[in-house]
Amino acid sequence: MPRITFPELTITFPDMKYLDSNYKKRILLDIDGVICEYDFPKLVKNFFGVDISSQMIFAYDLADVLGVAPILINKMFHEQVWGKPNFIKDSIDVLKEWKSKGYVLIIYSNRVKYMKEGGLARWLVDWQIPFDYITDGMGSYDFHIDDSPSKLMGTDSTVKLLFNQPWNKQCHNIQNKLQRVYDWNEIKRII
């Protein structure tokens, strides 16, 4: 099992198959677009010097939206992910409530490619975002909450909650496996 140690805490990342089955609910969570939001038009303006509106973001992949190489998007995000989060309304309160009920909160985020697991764990702790594990999405989950339809469909999750964002509004959901949600109070009611 990988282990990361900081002076005030130690985080162990177990294989998901070893999780105790006595937990009430196993919830897989994305960060950006679900727990935290970014002002993507502002990021694009600051990095590329181009004005876009949020309505112009028609797809999850900003490289496709802007017509640029993915490496440039990676560089833009690398500069942004370490900053102070702008939490989506009620996200942290709901996560704290779930944590107090014994739900297992598992982070599945593209931030790992910019921050690595240790950096992401440190960032989550620093900003007091409740979590139990960081994973690559392998394993089985009761719920998965994400703003990316393809990430949702790539996991073994009983309930797949698509957090509504401008870039996923055109998702056709042809297999009817995604349930669109609009805010954290709705997510809380479902879970």
Print pLDDT tens along the chain (191 aa).
555 656 666 565 554 544 555 658 999 999 999 999 978 888 899 999 999 998 888 888 889 999 999 999 988 888 777 888 999 999 999 999 999 999 999 999 989 988 999 999 999 999 999 999 999 999 999 999 999 999 999 999 999 999 999 999 999 999 999 999 999 999 999 99
CB of 55 closer than 8 Å to CB of 166 = yes
Helices of type H across 7-58: 40-48
Residue 186: domain span: 3-37+87-190
Integer Cα distance of 158 and 162 in angstroms: 13
12 and 33 in a common domain: yes
CATH number (domain holding residue 119): 3.40.50.1000
CB of 33 closer than 8 Å to CB of 147 = yes
94 and 46 in a common domain: no
118 and 65 in a common domain: no
pTM of the model: 0.83
Q: What is the dihedral of CA 154, 98, 7, 16, to 10 degrees?
A: -30
Location of structure tokens 């964002």: 165
115 and 74 in a common domain: no
Cβ neighbours of 135 (radius 10 Å): 20
62 and 19 in a common domain: no
155 and 120 in a common domain: yes
Q: Which residues contact 2 (CB under 8 A, 6 or more apart)?
A: 12, 13, 117
Cβ neighbours of 112 (radius 10 Å): 16
Q: How many domains would you assign to the chain?
A: 2
Residue 37: which of 98, 97, 71, 86 has the closest Cα? 86
